[in-house]
Amino acid sequence: MNILLIGPPGAGKGTQAKRLEEAFGMIQLSTGDMLRAAVASGSAVGQQAKEIMDRGDLVPDALIIDMISERIDRDDCAGGFILDGFPRTVPQADALTKMLVEKDISLDRVIEIAVDDDAMVTRITGRLTCANCGKGYHDEFEKPEVDGVCDKCGATEFNRRADDNAETVRNRLAAYHEQTAPILAYYKDRGVLSSVDGMAQMDDVTGQLKGVIEGA
């Protein structure tokens, strides 16, 4: 089964995608993670994307579409995938539809994680991940049991995303409303859209998502 998670930055797409990956064996395809890896490696794509990402703007459609098309062709996607962060514009959604037809792959469900925008700035600016194992934490809502020590692996170094500062977050939220929200109507018209309440407790959101997937 192939699904797509849609929601503004901070809605919990990444966290929930990882949980669904474990529950259903589908693979998470996060264009944000792919771009951050490209930036870290210093590749041509990374160099092109870095400044745009630091501002919180969207990188050009063509670059993203090529990147995701190559990724979907890899063997590990054969058991199903969870798109996280793509498509983010109507032209990207159109390109995905065409691409999947050409590859003879279905998109079984598109799920909106609906959240209250005002809460997103606090959610995002407080988040951090363990530099060793990648476990996610939050300054207010999910602190490690021992201050400064990862619960999962014991490491003491943590990373924050360069674009998780208040100014960039506001720009990312604006980009979501202007450019990404219109794709909800695109998928509603095609009869594949569901919505879950992303303001609920994290486990509850996971339960709602599993319900949608199992019922699809």
Q: Which residues of the chain form contacts with ligand AMP (CB under 6 A)?
A: 9, 31-32, 35, 52-53, 56-59, 64, 85-86, 88, 92, 163, 172
- The SS3 call for residue 128 is strand
87 upstream amide cis, omega within 30 of 0: yes
CA angle 27, 106, 85 (to 5 degrees): 50
Q: Position 185: which residue type?
A: A
Q: What are phi and psi of 2, to 5 degrees?
A: -120, 125
Least distance in angstroms from the C-beta of 64 to ligand AMP: 4
| Nearer to ligand AMP (CB atom), residue 92 or residue 208 | 92
Q: Which is nearer to ligand AMP, 116 or 214 (CB)?
A: 116
54 vs 214, beta carbon nearer ligand AMP: 54
Beta carbon of residue 57, minimum distance to ligand AMP (angstroms, whole number): 6
When CB distances to ligand AMP are compared, the closest residue is 32
From the CB of 107, what's the least distance to ligand AMP, in Å? 15
Cβ atoms of 86 and 96 within 8 Å: the answer is: yes
Residue (117 or 214) nearer to ligand AMP, CB = 117
12-28 b/e with 16+ CB inside 10 Å = b? bbbbbbbbbbeebebbb
Question: Which residues are annotated as catalytic?
Answer: 13, 88, 127, 161, 172
For the four alpha carbons of 201, 4, 21 and 23, in that order, the dihedral sign comes to positive
- Decide if 140 contacts 131 (C-beta within 8 A): no
What are the tokens at 76? 């590990």
Shortest reach from residue 35's CB to ligand AMP, in Å: 5
